[in-house]
Amino acid sequence: MTEGRCKPSVFPPRTDTGREDTLDNFVIETENLTKDYSSWLRKAKRPALNNLTISIPKGSVFGFLGPNGAGKTTTIKILMGLIRPTGGMATVLGKPYDDVEVKNRIGFLPDSPAFTPQLSAMEFLDVCARLLKIPSSKRKQRVEEVLEIVRMAPHAKSKVGTFSRGMLQRVGIAQAILNSPELLILDEPLLGLDPYGRQEFKEIILEQRDKFGASVFFSSHILSDVEEICDSISILNKGRLLCAGKLSDLLSRDTDNGVLVKIRQCDDAVKALMTDADNVQKKENDEWELTFKTLSPELDRKINELSAKHGEAVKRLNAREDLESFFFGKIEEDNLENS
């Protein structure tokens, strides 16, 4: 990793003396996690994951990003005990990744959820509730509750085999939150949903954290959604970790000299600064956002004057890069280095 690039050590490193604390602070920890795929026919190994070391803090909404084939689903499947790593270790909620009992405290949504086609949504969730050891007296009520949360109550008795992609995704979320989990692991949870569905799901995810204190670990390609709901992220490329850390730290790091000016209902100020801005965006309620990547002394003086003149209507903030350009920058940089 080159200088200036963010490193996974953004989160507190583990110490030998603080092992108990570490277990309490992190919901997921991996150390040099490696996975190579190989088949009987082809002897050559195909590396999917290369020495991944990350720690996910408790109570965070953690976005796990990377292009296709980066190793996101492989990591998630290892954490859920579905595939075995070639090397390294992983713990989930302080237990080894293949511990069966710890799964009672985890909710998991696979990347393309599929369920027993001849069962109704309610029956399938009942099977899941039995596997999660929800007492029979509470099972029916809880299944109805989660179907209500994901707005599938009207389809509770329809066969899962007749559902659309979006409906399957909703049932998937329902089975993942059935046990009010301490940790939600979601693989592409927003895939196949319309904008309304995506919004609802983001609310559900945040509600799980805010109401029940759940930590959320999810992979997604929809960067705007990640930026909206995640407080921490990591970026993977070709099985390697490129960076990990708090989103706010990562996005402000590369644009230390930039400035963001928010102008509300003040056309004069917008006109005065527009020609110098690198990026101009009109928001709702006649609000404008102007980004300046570099600041000359003259421009600095101009902004300060406008800010003094118009008060709260012209706000000066430190600019931060948006996640999309940050993501592409990191991936391209890595591809160039390793080409």
Instruction: Give the CB-side neighbour count of residue 211, counting CA atoms within 13 A.
Output: 9
Beta bridge partners of 259: 292, 318
| Phi, psi (degrees; rounded to nearest 5) at 178 | -55, -40
b/e code 203-229 from CB counts within 10 Å (16+ = b): ebbeebbeeeebbbbbbbeebebbbeb
Q: How far is the CB of 124 from other proteins (least distance, A)?
A: 7
Annotate 180-192 with DSSP letters as a single string.
--SEEEEESTTTT
Nearer to other proteins, 216 or 273 (CB): 216
Structure-token pair, residue 71? 């190793």
Nearer to other proteins, 116 or 294 (CB): 116
Of the two residues 137 and 275, which places its CB atom closer to other proteins in the complex?
A: 137
Could you tell me the smallest distance in angstroms from the CB atom of residue 227 to other proteins? 28
Q: CB of residue 237 vs other proteins: minimum separation in angstroms? A: 22
Q: CB 78 → other proteins: shortest distance, Å? A: 10
Name 333's Cβ contacts closer than 8 Å, sequence gap at least 6: 2, 5
Q: How far is the CB of 116 from other proteins (least distance, A)?
A: 5
Q: Pick between residue 1 and residue 127 the one whose CB is nearest to other proteins.
A: 127
For other proteins, the closer of residues 105 and 302 by Cβ is 105
Distance from C-alpha of 166 to C-alpha of 169, rounded to nearest angstrom: 5
Closer residue to other proteins in complex, CB, 139/240: 139
Rule CB under 8 A: which residues touch other proteins? Answer: 77, 80-84, 100-101, 103-104, 106, 108, 110-119, 123-124, 127-128, 130-133, 159, 172, 175
Can you give the C-alpha Rg of the chain in angstroms? Answer: 23
For residue 241, give the amino acid letter: L
Q: Where are the alpha helices (DSSP H) in the chain?
A: 19-25, 72-79, 121-131, 136-149, 165-177, 195-212, 223-229, 247-253, 267-274, 297-310, 323-337
Q: How far is the CB of 332 from other proteins (least distance, A)?
A: 30
Q: Which residues contact 82 (CB under 8 A, 6 or more apart)?
A: none
What tokens does 168 get?
């399957």
For residue 100, the minimal CB distance to other proteins (Å) is: 5
For other proteins, give the closer residue by CB, 85 or 245. Answer: 85
Q: Which is nearer to other proteins, 14 or 88 (CB)?
A: 88
Q: Minimum distance from CB of 14 to other proteins (Å)?
A: 26
